[in-house]
Structure 1
Amino acid sequence: MGITGAGKSTFISHLTKEAVVVGHGIESCTKQILAYPFYYDANTTVSLIDTPGFDDTKLSDHSELEELAAFLKPSYENNIQLSGIIYLHRITDVQLDQETGNGREQQLTSNSRFWGLMRSRGCQIRRVLNTKESALGLVRHFVADGPGLVTLEVQKELVDNKKEFIDTAVGQEAAGQHAEQLRTMKKELEDVKQELKEALKAKDESHALAIKKERARAAQLIQDSETSFQNLHVDMEKRMGLRAKRQDAEIQKLLKLPSRGTQGTASQTSSRGIGMSSWQRLNLLVQEYEALGGKKGFIPPSLSYYEVRWIIKQAKEILLSQPTLLQLPAPTTVFVQIIGDVRGQFGDLIRLFHDVGKPGLQRFLMLENYSGEGPHSLDTFLMCLAYKVNPPQKIFLLRGPLETRREGSLRRDCLERYDKTTLEEIIELCAYLPIAATIADDRKFCANGAMSPELLRLEQIDSFRRPLELKAGSIASDLANGPSTKVTGEAAARFCARHMLSHVAGGRVFARDGYDFVKGPRGRFVILWSAPSFKGWRSASAVLRVVSEKAMEMYVSYLGTHCEIATADGDI
């Protein structure tokens, strides 16, 4: 907070990557409440709330206070509390020598008419330079002391006591100051009228003309001020409702609710409090996913703007530490379960995890296409990312073609519920996904596209630098999207022999039975499909389970069947 030109937007721009409009004149560039998140560290997201300046040329102080109240009221109603308030006061108007400046600072901090009263009640005063380091040091004060949450008196009055803004303590103070200003302006107008009479009496026409203009200006100011003052007594709910609509996008960044028009209720996500660390919120989110297993007609948990961007950031750091060709060891006590095409079917994936074991207890290798044409494409992908980030990180994601598309349901969900920045961050993240994996001493090969006839050595895959662009006809495109030529039994057998593979698993192709084989290599080349609800096709869902270095089994869920077959030296 602070008067216009105090440096609020500049302060925020030092700490965030957002484009904050910074003004240099007497008119405030911030016209409404705006929320800007930034990652303080791996465990902490800080939200900076920019506000219009006091003493604005276009917005009266009481209107500014009401604007703040319109933002703080729904925040408090949804259990979002402040950690503190930063009030900025500029000292750059007049260049002072150090001794004079120190004296002025001492006067401000000790005099109860200025900052003395606030300081006596716990307010701390810090100098802030025009640097990122200085701004970060100020924020560190709030983070270091932990999530000491603050409830403002005006929030209690508006929500708990159900008062109108004019009846709150701050509303009464604003009204009193406004009335005093109005009396002063009327007194000045009377003085101008008297001066005009004297000018007309003296027949000073030029001076009289100037005074008439000043009288008209003063009268207009009084009229505007009286109208503004009367508005304080108008039904606050109507006015604040209009303001809330303007601020809705900013409030939604802080709420644990989806954007308006999407499904979900506050009770679904209220347990993930803003006072928790990001890791605590992630752990609770995973518990919410697990609680959905086996249910019908469920609604995916809603993630806040900050939670989504934090999960993306953590996932990217993990992906950067992994090779382009994942190498998973042979199972000992924990199976490796391979899931095929998901296509954004959130419910199918929830049921699959419920039936075959949740991530964390089992290791999962997911081949691709986490988003698709379902109503919950974004929810499906975010759940996969949440499981990947959440310790012990036993879920591995490979790249498919749908996650890099800038059209379709993933784009729709991102733009409706979050923003374009979130969409671009997800698309960029997918460019870092590995494109293939081997299991059990490189004998079992997995990729969405299953194979590439141009791949001479598996080691070539690790030479692909990420972020990776999938150019048509390239090896990377074959493995992620599927070969440009048909996979025949002869080509599959040749691929297995060239790379000394016992089995190959791929996705990408619809299989009504949940799985299908490429004829030729004795059932060792399998295609997996794990989206039985896709487009209402009512197919089966299959998971290929690697039990040990040699033993494998296929889990097929359609009519409750479970088939255990074969070893690495035989057909699946």
Structure 2
Amino acid sequence: MGVTGAGKSSFIRRVTGNDGVLIGSGLQSMTQEVQSYKFEHDGKVYSIVDTPGFNDTYRSDNEVLKELADWLLKSYQDGVKINGIIYLHRISDTKMEGSALRNLRMFRKLCGEDFMKNVILGTTFWDIVGVDQGVARETELLRTESFFKVMQEQGSTVERILDDRESNLALLSRFAAKQPHVMRIQQELFEGKTLSETAAASAVSRELAELQHQNLEKLSDVEVQAQKKITRSSLEKVLTLHLERKTFDSTIHDLSAQQEEIREEQMEEDKKNDERMTKLQEEKHCQDQRFQVQLNDLNEKLRAIKASPGKRG
């Protein structure tokens, strides 16, 4: 798991030797759905799963969450348990912010604290940064609570993912020795919670609301700047700000649409729950009626027995 462009598909292609694993270029995601690849190593059969990131190029966070939740619930119901997850992060990123930080927070909610001992936090793209720079960023990840610090304290390990098949396979071999564990979202869904009631979905809603708030603030700043630029008669800069305004408008519209989608899904789930409850109540009413008929019939028979004269000897 990890953001788009973190190297998930490249890692899978490297360890499986499967050239059919598609790899995107830049930030364009090639992984549009959860995909599983099987291969054998040291006498063991591995099933390694590629997932889209929450910053997917073509789909909203809510759509990606639903895709993951459906797959995780089905695998749990089928008796397939997860030995471990490798979460990838680009060490080449100068900062952990925006979609990368949002993706990491979502990952923590999906897993839950108990699953963290089955997690490897892997940093990628060490070949394109200087050693000192990479180590400095790695140290920041390990010392910052909102980054890797808390997860490491909960039992996850941090590893450098190099462009080397043998070292990558060694990481997978460590999972083979671990006991499979249930992720938090799997447990929540299996217990009957709707997707919108899970911790991960709640996190998506909060992230969308925060993102919308940030964009509204930026939009307000753009409008103020536009007014200043107009007084200075700088037409070119006004046009640039106008384009920024259109971009923010589009982003806010998309965020509102995602929030509306979540609300509609919750309403649909509530409707289904109401229908199920009504059906159960109707079935109970029918059972009560049948029981009453049987009880009345039994009482009639008892009265008939009591009313009949006893046999004489």
Question: What TM-score do the two structures reach when normalised by structure 1?
Answer: 0.39
Partner of 1:213: 243
1:482-561 matches, cutoff 5 A: none
Partner of 1:525: none
Q: Say if 2:196 and 2:265, in contact at 8 Å, map to a contact too.
A: no
Report SS of the residue matched to 1:53: coil
The reply on whether 1:183 has 2:213 as its aligned counterpart is yes
**AA aligned opposite 1:57:** T
Aligned partners of 2:189 and 2:239: how far apart in 1?
49
Partner of 1:158: 189
Report SS of the residue matched to 2:13: helix
Q: Say if 1:157 and 1:163, in contact at 8 Å, map to a contact too.
A: yes
Aligned partners of 1:104 and 1:221: how far apart in 2?
30
Aligned partners of 1:197 and 1:60: how far apart in 2?
33
**AA aligned opposite 2:200:** V
Aligned partners of 1:49 and 1:195: how far apart in 2?
47
Report SS of the residue matched to 2:25: coil
Partner of 1:110: 143
Report SS of the residue matched to 1:45: strand
Report SS of the residue matched to 1:59: coil
Partner of 2:118: none
Partner of 1:121: 154
> Could you say if the C-alpha distance between residues 81 and 144 of structure 1 is closer, same or farther in structure 2, counting changes exceeding 3 Å?
closer
Report the structure number with the largest CA radius of gyration.
Answer: 1
More helix by share: 2
Partner of 1:46: 46
Aligned partners of 1:228 and 1:183: how far apart in 2?
14
Same amino acid, percent of matched pairs = 32
Task: Kindly state the Cα deviation for residue 17 of structure 1 after the two structures are TM-superposed.
Answer: 4.2
Q: Say if 2:2 and 2:89, in contact at 8 Å, map to a contact too.
A: yes
Task: Kindly state the Cα deviation for residue 60 of structure 1 after the two structures are TM-superposed.
Answer: 3.5
The reply on whether 1:69 has 2:69 as its aligned counterpart is yes
> Could you say if the C-alpha distance between residues 110 and 166 of structure 1 is closer, same or farther in structure 2, counting changes exceeding 3 Å?
same
The reply on whether 1:138 has 2:171 as its aligned counterpart is yes
Task: Kindly state the Cα deviation for residue 116 of structure 1 after the two structures are TM-superposed.
Answer: 0.8
Task: Kindly state the Cα deviation for residue 33 of structure 1 after the two structures are TM-superposed.
Answer: 0.5
Q: Say if 2:22 and 2:30, in contact at 8 Å, map to a contact too.
A: yes
**AA aligned opposite 1:136:** L
Q: Say if 1:189 and 1:215, in contact at 8 Å, map to a contact too.
A: yes
1:101-125, Cα deviation, whole Å (9 max, x unpaired)? 3333223123222101011111011
Report SS of the residue matched to 2:40: strand
Aligned partners of 1:74 and 1:237: how far apart in 2?
23
Report SS of the residue matched to 1:126: strand
Task: Kindly state the Cα deviation for residue 234 of structure 1 after the two structures are TM-superposed.
Answer: 2.3
Report SS of the residue matched to 1:47: strand
Task: Kindly state the Cα deviation for residue 152 of structure 1 after the two structures are TM-superposed.
Answer: 1.0
Name which of 224, 230, 239 aligns with 2:254. 224
**AA aligned opposite 1:207:** K
Aligned partners of 1:92 and 1:103: how far apart in 2?
11
> Could you say if the C-alpha distance between residues 125 and 221 of structure 1 is closer, same or farther in structure 2, counting changes exceeding 3 Å?
same
Unaligned runs of 5+ in 2: 95-127, 270-313
Task: Kindly state the Cα deviation for residue 92 of structure 1 after the two structures are TM-superposed.
Answer: 4.1
Report SS of the residue matched to 2:263: coil
The reply on whether 1:98 has 2:134 as its aligned counterpart is no
Task: Kindly state the Cα deviation for residue 192 of structure 1 after the two structures are TM-superposed.
Answer: 1.4
Report SS of the residue matched to 1:87: strand
Task: Kindly state the Cα deviation for residue 52 of structure 1 after the two structures are TM-superposed.
Answer: 1.0
1:192-211 matches, cutoff 5 A: 192-211=222-241
**AA aligned opposite 1:55:** N
Aligned partners of 2:56 and 2:252: how far apart in 1?
17
Task: Kindly state the Cα deviation for residue 126 of structure 1 after the two structures are TM-superposed.
Answer: 1.6
> Could you say if the C-alpha distance between residues 93 and 171 of structure 1 is closer, same or farther in structure 2, counting changes exceeding 3 Å?
closer
1:299-322, Cα deviation, whole Å (9 max, x unpaired)? xxxxxxxxxxxxxxxxxxxxxxxx
**AA aligned opposite 2:136:** G
Q: Say if 2:92 and 2:134, in contact at 8 Å, map to a contact too.
A: no
Aligned partners of 2:135 and 2:238: how far apart in 1?
47
Q: Say if 2:161 and 2:168, in contact at 8 Å, map to a contact too.
A: yes
Unaligned runs of 5+ in 1: 240-572
Higher relative CO (Cα under 8 Å, sequence separation at least 6) belongs to 2
**AA aligned opposite 1:77:** Q
Q: Say if 2:142 and 2:148, in contact at 8 Å, map to a contact too.
A: yes
Q: Say if 2:91 and 2:137, in contact at 8 Å, map to a contact too.
A: no
Partner of 1:28: 29
> Could you say if the C-alpha distance between residues 12 and 237 of structure 1 is closer, same or farther in structure 2, counting changes exceeding 3 Å?
farther
Aligned partners of 1:166 and 1:53: how far apart in 2?
19
Task: Kindly state the Cα deviation for residue 219 of structure 1 after the two structures are TM-superposed.
Answer: 0.7
**AA aligned opposite 2:206:** G
Partner of 1:172: 202
Q: Say if 2:9 and 2:21, in contact at 8 Å, map to a contact too.
A: yes
Aligned partners of 1:150 and 1:108: how far apart in 2?
25
Question: What TM-score do the two structures reach when normalised by structure 2?
Answer: 0.69
Aligned partners of 1:212 and 1:111: how far apart in 2?
37
**AA aligned opposite 1:192:** V
Q: Say if 1:128 and 1:138, in contact at 8 Å, map to a contact too.
A: no
